[in-house]
Structure 1
Amino acid sequence: MAESSETVLSSILAIAAHDLASEYHSNDVGSQTYHQMSKMYQNKSLALLAKELKTLSASSSSGSDVSASSAFTLASVIILCNNEFMQPQGAGWRVHLAAAREVILAAKNRSHPHKQLTSIEEFLMIEFYEASVWANLTTFDDSSEDVKPFPHSKENAVFTDFVRVIDEITQLERLRFRSQSHSFPYHSGPTPAVIMQINSARYSMLHLAETINFHAEEDRRTFQLVVLMYYHATLIYSCQALGEPPTRDFNAHSSRNEILKCLQSLSGMRIDLFAQDLVWPLFMAGTELRGNPEAHNLIRGGFHSVMQFSRTLDRARVLSFLESWWKTPGAYVSWIDMARTQYRSSHCDFLVV
């Protein structure tokens, strides 16, 4: 795609330069040089994107040429969104997600998809969907209700089954909150359908682990442990978002302990291959660890390993939120309550990625 689209090429160069800048200390000349380079390519890509979006919105055609142009535009937007994720304190990634949503929704009206780009578009759809789910997890305004077209293909998808359940739990939690605010009756606790989906995601992922040709058997075992951590993290979230104490606390604490066991089992194993997938289980386990300084150190160590192997992204702020959560026992019913209450503050505007 980069060979066929200057916009895509500029977006790739922007994120590549940004990544290289992170290899240097912030005061180093290398960091400054690559940051300037990243900004230059980003601005170039944005200028080209503005023209492409204007052309797409004005086009009434549904031919393969328009389809190809749409795919290139979507790729550029998703790449720039990931570029913003590397330093997500600003609102740039939200703008790119909104643009990606418009491109995807407009593309639904096409009757002639570009066959050569179909698999790439499906991958981009997965990237958009998952980014939207993680964004909505800690977003508490009306934008979290925006449509997120779910990708039909599971090719190139790994944890998407879990992400889909997380998305459903978030929507149910928002509905529950609105129902309580208006004194409407609402079912308490994770529904059987949600639990079934979580179990199904675990089964499909463990089955996938048996089919992947890993370089070493230890890598397969590491992947299986990460799957189990994801499973228990999603169970914790379902309890926190939809359950009531004491059942909620008992079930969540049980899954928290399982995550800590898996984390300890990962000690000494290669985690660099899957470091980026540990943020969700580390965060969920951390939200159930008030008053446990020893376990706090384990979570901190996990986050530092993730940032060492898979860049900082917003992980330092996720850990900072956990630190604040640990220091405010009894002040909030749950971390969701705390994040919702302080949503407009920079402290609670974070991404679990």
Structure 2
Amino acid sequence: MPRRTATMLASLLTLIALLCVGVLIPVPYAEMSPGPTVNTLGEHGGEPVLQISGRKTYPTSGHLNMTTVRVTGSQYRMNLAEALYGWLTHDNLVVPHSTLYPDDKSPDELNQETAEEFSQSQESAKVAALKQLGIPVGTRVIVSSVVKGSPAEGQLHAGDVIKAVDGQEVKQPGDVAALVTKHQPGQKVTFLVVPAKEAAAAEKEKRQPKVEDTVSLATAKAPDDAKRAIVGIQAGTDHTFPFTINIKLADVGGPSAGLMFALGIVDKLTPDDLTGGKFVAGTGTIDDNGKVGPIGGVEMKTVGARSKGARYFLTPADNCAAAAKDAPSGLTLVKVDTIGDALKSLDKIKKGDSAGLPLCKVG
């Protein structure tokens, strides 16, 4: 065989071997890409995303789209060729697998965590929207979770409303721990609670709870301090609303839709049309006081929003620099720090006052 032919054949075989290696050998990476966007003012899966009853609502127009990021599954292992392609693709992001799926958490734990974050984001969106409108929101202390194998297991349940501990009224979650730790481990502590089902029924029927239970528990030693008494619950805050707000959106997790849910609620509860028919998208966590927080994957979300037709993107202040480094053409990135900031910017967008918008800048 001529030397030149042999060299070409060897090179071809080497190339084939490298391609096989690239396809067959998994690498510890995962991929993020633009996910679906959903108009919080519209419908999804055949029903309105925001459903409000017991309060007058008003027509809306335009878009207030929440945005998402699509990620490869926890069990999926990219090969080298896929990782290289992802790195070269402008709209995708390849990250270490452990960034999305930490080794110390199972897939089920991660799914539960993102589901809880999504649920909490909906709750905070409702609270922030109503506070912004000056509509009173009630609060109450509840059992957020019960530790398996603790004295409270089977006696107290997630969602139970804690009225008092040892006869002393409970006004905030910290009161529960303070009253329990007054005891020595082994001593009894008494809870006055409204069972979760009764509390939910009373709220739905707009009445006072009819059932209260007295639960007496023997305290146990804290795992990290044998002198500290515990009963094995985590206390938290729940809210009561003067009317019903339901958010219907399946197959979404995490807290990043909070801002857009809150704005959608405000839009439906006020006669003024917030967008004036404009296509606005955005992202950001939100707390009960309307503070907007940063999220992950903002670059993917801006791409997804622009591909669906968005012209403006409400961007958490802490994400602005990253988003502005590679903003899609035709998409204006608007910096927001609170729900109030977002509403002011929407008013400018509606009026066509783009020059007055607080824009995201690099650095």
TM tier, smaller: under 0.3
Quick check: which one's strand share is greater?
A: 2
The answer to which structure, 1 or 2, has the higher relative contact order (CA under 8 A, 6+ apart) is 2
Q: What TM-score does the superposition give when structure 1 sets the normalisation length?
A: 0.23
* Bigger CA radius of gyration: 2
Quick check: which one's helix share is greater?
A: 1
